[in-house]
Structure 1
């Protein structure tokens, strides 16, 4: 059985106020072609299907068309909810998707644990693997009434995965094939994963990341949330597929890919590169060097979207206007103009002069915190409380 693992599509996202519908449609067309060419039996989307809890109508239409097209190819589909996804919005289509060979798993409540474990069948209708479908874990779904600390949450996550794994082992024995691979999934942050600027930190209390050692030994663990494709740990069995499109300019530095997991292959994991549907480029230079940098861009059928970082010595009140005037002679669209960050961070006026697109909420909070006379204990207490408030604000509506 050949499984294509992908995640973090963020359908409906605007990239610095640019609509990405053409890119996302190109991605879906490429995925359909890949399913045909690679003889894929099942596609797994491990969370963050949409960019917000209230996606635009065109984004919902794209997902619906994808579900229909895969069904017509007799390819199975598993959709997991991520932290950006609204459970209520996804569940609107759950019954319809089920009729189109698509399993949608949005919550991980203990009362519905049986719905999170099932046998995957190959094209011949034979059992090929046991799957543990784990979406983004919300504390209210897995914590008991007496649990509240980050240690409790870590234990609850581990407990939930272990319960699924044990039931998966039992299901494999019921099928009569003890050697069936057990595949897990998740939408979370593991320790030592490499994040990019576009990833929204998931803070639940003060727990930001989970050690991989607390999770069961799956034959393959398909993860979402981190946008940079990567394996966690030495075995390579725990893997983030990464986002298929760059969600921020710094993601341009790593090649985008999907993972193909073949249950019968001796080397079951294979990465397949995703084409670049919209060229992005970061340019770091002085204002004087900018024309030469623009002239050196390789030819492309689409205009480049640019993030231009100007050296601090050249950065002044009219620099954005000058950059746009220079760029007007080239096949580019300037999305962001900013001062060189290393120099800017040394400048006490960094927060005041940086654009909002450059800053995270935590950047602003930490900068302001350094301006207040507090001892280390008071500072830590404020940071913890801030992260708790931020997590509450970031919760998607059910």
Structure 2
């Protein structure tokens, strides 16, 4: 999506310049700027939204400077819930208290305000669950808790959630779950400890791999970011190669992929050029890209095509690449979070009221 007055690919926090006034003890984080405008008009002036395709670590840190708590008020559809789960992970690294609004009666805050008014939304805010309760509720929906196998898988999943919390939370939830699921509290605590060990081992392994990549990877003049972000770069290259070999796949994934999901600048440029041609029905012939890239860069793109023997050439492979890029992007801290000016924000209210 191109930059506009209200949507920028830089990671600004919309309306934070208004919401931070008065040192609010909590901020309501919405999915879109229209929700924020509706909430501000209804008197919820502590509402904000993160610009760009997804919440970044830099945005989360910026928000944490002005409040101790965030209430996530994302859309109730699957995309909104996916964004909620992702936001919990990112905000969790800032030390902020996190609560999650369960939207009932509408798909987003704007719709609820229009249909039911301010009081309805205030009641939803008052009943917002904390991040642990929300995550546990999501796990409940996945399993058949009337079966032993379902309860076992549910408790294993919940143990992983609780392993990220503090000992007091772990003890309290272990007591509650033990009584509900007819298992011993000690068994739940032991599973939480095992989950914690699994997670810390995985994190240590990833940190070691990053050190090795930074140390031994050769310099890359075409894509200098590749050694640092090797896993993401490989996923980008596989995605590009698969689409070049199977252009008909593009329509099936186009809504899930844009330039922002790419981690390395070179591969982002290649994807942008490729997507532009596919959008305009001009095909993926390698020669069509020569006007936009140096001979050395064209050589690298040709290497992508030579990957055909190692590709499964399926939409599923594209999906796997997208998941890797989303995960890698989540880990990155993106700088230069910007804000709309006060005057721009006021103009938005004028335009909305006048429409």
TM-score (normalised: structure 2): 0.26
TM-score (normalised: structure 1): 0.24
- Higher relative contact order, chain-length normalized (CA < 8 Å, sep 6+): 2
